Amino acid sequence: MRHVVVFCLLLLAAACGSSPDPSKAFERTVDGLCPSSPQQLTGTTAVGGGCETATECKPTCCSCSNGSLKNWLAVSCREGTCATAGVACADTRNDPVLCN
């Protein structure tokens, strides 16, 4: 019986764990630049700080790697922690509206 209780507690802990998929968000202006006064990404939690959603994190300005001059603000919350600028940019970079 004791093993069953331990097994159930382990299953419950696994079910309550963080999702492997990051919470992420981006924002840019109509001309494809990072907004100087963001309307959506107004979080203030620094890299490494705790978060439940990406919008709690302080945004970083990202740039396209394909030669496009467009930029965007990005945030990412991974496993309950605000991600670094590089990770936030990588997590949002594949959105087709950003660099095409």
What pLDDT score was predicted for residue 100? 75
pLDDT > 60? residue 96: yes
Per residue in 68-81, pLDDT (tens digit) is 889 999 999 999 99
Confidence of residue 21 (pLDDT cuts 50, 70, 90): low
Lowest mean pLDDT among 14-18, 60-64, 65-69: 14-18
pTM: 0.74
Q: How many domains does the chain have?
A: 1
**42 located within any domain:** yes
In a domain, 52, yes or no: yes
Residue 75 lies in a domain: yes
Q: How far apart are CA 33 and CA 45, in angstroms?
A: 22
Residue 48: strand, helix, or coil: coil
More confident residue, 45 or 17: 45
Domain of residue 48 covers: 20-99
- For residue 15, name the pLDDT band (cuts at 50, 70, 90): very low
Backbone angles phi, psi at 81, to 5 degrees: -135, 135
Whether residue 50 is contained in a domain is answered as: yes
In terms of C-beta density within 10 A (0-12 exposed, 13-18 middle, 19 or more buried), how is residue 74 classed? Answer: buried
| Residue 28 within any structural domain of the chain | yes
| 27 part of a folded domain | yes
Quick check: is 45 in a domain?
yes
